[in-house]
Amino acid sequence: MWTTSQLGLNHGIRLKANKDSLCKIPKALQKALPFKNKPKTQAKAGKVPKNRRRPAVIREPHERKILTLLDALSTLHSQKMKKAKEQRHLHNKEHFRAKQKEEEEKLKRQKDLRKKLFRIQGQKERSNQKSSLKGAEGQLQ
């Protein structure tokens, strides 16, 4: 089922406006209105379908062969670009994984170094505390 507007558009026929739906504005009132609110008397041109805008092109046999060849080449190119994009994506993924692994190893090394440093620092504090206690005991006796 087609609407009247679709039929009119397909056949290039403009629909007639219903006279009852048009409102009449007195000319004195129209003059007083600002420009943007004034009624527009010119109707907008309807869109013309593409096939009516320009004539159909009938190609020679050798032109058709050239076009099919160009289409095939463009298809090959697009497939090649798609494949390259996938490869680049995989390469980026692997690179990201490697960087992440390196970062984890770096953090682990830093953590181990901090542990070692704090253990040595704790041992020094304990030995300083013991030596200070020994000195205090010698003074008490």
**129 vs 132: CA distance, rounded Å:** 5
Structure-block tokens of residue 67: 């076009």
pLDDT value for 17:
72
pLDDT value for 131:
85
Amino acid letter at 69? L
Q: Which of 36-40, 64-68, 132-136 has the lowest mean pLDDT?
A: 132-136
**Distance of CA 50 to CAs 10, 45, 67, 88, 128, Å?**
11, 15, 21, 40, 93
Using one digit for the tens of pLDDT, what is the confidence trace for 3-13?
777 877 788 88
* 95 falls within a domain: yes
* 13 falls within a domain: no
| Of 85 and 130, more confident | 85
Structure-block tokens of residue 137: 């005991």
Q: Which residues contact 67 (CB under 8 A, 6 or more apart)?
A: 59
| Of 60 and 141, more confident | 60
* 15 falls within a domain: no
Query: What is the extent of the structural domain holding 75?
Result: 63-136
pTM, two decimal places: 0.43
Q: Which residue has the tokens 């181990």?
A: 112
Structure-block tokens of residue 71: 């289409």
* 72 falls within a domain: yes
